[in-house]
Homo-oligomer: A and B are copies of this chain.
Amino acid sequence: MTKLIAALRDGLGEGGVLTGDDAAPWSRDWTGQYRWTPLCVVRPRSTAEVSEVLRLCHAAGQPVVPVSGNTGLSGGTSGAGAVMLSMGRMNRIREVRAEARLAVVEAGVILSSLHDAAEAQGLMFPLTFGARGSAMVGGFLGTNAGGSNVLRYGNTRDLVLGVEVVLADGRVMNLMSELHKDNSGLNLRHLVIGAEGTLGVITAAVLKLVPKPAAYATAMVAVPSLDAALGLLNDLQRATGGAVEAFEYMPRTYLDAYRARFPDTRPPFDTDYETTVLVEVGATAPRDAAPDAEGRVPVAVHLEQVLAERLEAGAVLDAIVAQNDGQRAEMWARREAAGEVCLTRQPMVNNDVAVPLDKVSVFLDRAGARLARLDPGAVPVVVAHLGDGNVHYAVWPTCDDAALADAIMEAVEDEVLALGGSFSAEHGIGLTKRPSMARRKDRVALEAMRAVKAALDPKGILNPGKVFPG
């Protein structure tokens, strides 16, 4: 392997290959749940260098694990003995073209940098989530990341017009379309998005931008039940013509855990309600953003009207509308700390699932009952992108027992699948969900996946041991 490392150094220059202690940042995931010792870390600065790395590794049959921001939640970047292919130095925003509403970016661009670049031109890249200050293009395309705005703007794949991909043997596939209609053969773009680096390495992308809402109306709302929450969502969508940007569920157990982790913060309400949601509506038409004589923007008036009507009807218990950016930021900070909050206790069993919108409530009841039987002292720490039916069902079990952790995963899956849901919503499969893939994925789909994998990476060097069950 020293021969391969020497060849990589030849190709990438001295700073392009890291070993030993220098490789430490690429030897664990951010949750600390996975740790490994890679062969080395390579840091290409161009697509040509990525191609060279893969050509060399392919010839040597050497496993390669692509990694960008390393903020994944499923162990998708673990790479014992692997060449860690870090995209961090390919971090150029090549273009932001406001008229065409697109950005051309490299795989190492950090999500929040892209946010800033779009905003500087009055536009928005709508994908967002807590890790946006570290997560990079390569990772969020590789995992088809979701986040808080999927309700309005779709998943990552819905925001991608084109990609550049280096295949396992180093061939560069140029699919950098900027077009909204492009039916020219099999759709390989959607195949590599969400493939978690198992089919090729995404080096660049053409991303859609959208008009930035001219005003937001944001509120914390306490409701008597999840059904009442869904009624609120539907009323808001009707009133605003589908302008709800986010609809995030936080139960009392989560808010308690948040305050325990961040004791200096304030609770959203004076009363401890069981069921609260963070609601955000965005104004994209001028008529929704132009303040009236009292300085209120119509989008906020709509939100307040719907809340008032439902308060009157007993379908809302309490509501606080953010009066300024600071209050809005406080509401979002509470939600976006979910990753950190869950990690305050170890062990933690993480499970990211989706069910039909109207089944979230019954799912939580059933999963809670199963959990109580498996481990009566276990604490579920739940948050949900309720508008997508996407539940992050984290659990703090009472003891560190792999068999118990797996039993909890499996029980949660049972309830998800019985309700027509998916065992994996937005975090991807990585290592964490491989047992679930083996148990739950349609047999024929799994066979077809393996056939496609073997066709595009016959030596199996790309992110081996991930996504596909053993």
Residues of A within 8 A of B (CB): 99-100, 143-144, 146, 150, 154-155, 157-158, 167, 171-175, 177-188, 190-191, 193-195, 198-199, 211, 237-243, 283-288, 354-358, 385, 388-390, 420-429, 433, 437, 440-442, 444-449, 451-456, 467-468
Contacts and interface: CB of A to CB of B under 8 A. Distances in A.
Contact of A181 (B283, B389, B444): B389
Contacts of A468: 185
Given A285-B239, A448-B167, A441 B184 contact: yes
Contact of A442 (B174, B178, B241, B453): B174
Nearest to A422: B182
A446 B174 CA distance: 11
Given A186-B195, A241-B287, 18 more contacts: A146-B181, A157-B187, A173-B442, A175-B442, A179-B425, A181-B388, A181-B389, A182-B422, A183-B429, A184-B423, A184-B440, A185-B424, A186-B191, A186-B198, A188-B448, A211-B237, A243-B285, A455-B455
Contacts of A389: 179-181
Contacts of A286: 238-239, 241
A184 B455 contact: no
- The list of the 5 closest CB pairs from A to B, nearest first, reads A241-B285, A190-B190, A455-B455, A241-B284, A451-B455
Given A191-B190, A448-B188, A456-B452, A288 B144 contact: no
A206 to B, nearest CB: 10
A456 B287 CA distance: 52
A454 B455 contact: yes
Number of copies: 2
Nearest to A146: B181
A154 B161 CA distance: 12
A422 B179 CA distance: 8
Contacts of A171: 444, 447
A266 to B, nearest CB: 31
A185 to B, nearest CB: 5
Nearest to A445: B173
Contacts of A358: 99-100
A41 to B, nearest CB: 26
Contact of A242 (B172, B182, B284, B420): B284
A352 B440 CA distance: 42
Contacts of A182: 354, 422, 424-425
A428 B187 CA distance: 12
Nearest to A467: B185
A178 B420 CA distance: 8
Contact of A449 (B185, B211, B425): B185
Nearest to A446: B185
A14 B143 CA distance: 49
Given A285-B241, A420-B178, A444 B172 contact: yes
A370 B429 CA distance: 51
Given A184-B423, A185-B446, A188-B445, A179 B241 contact: no
A183 B73 CA distance: 13
Nearest to A144: B183
A181 B354 contact: yes
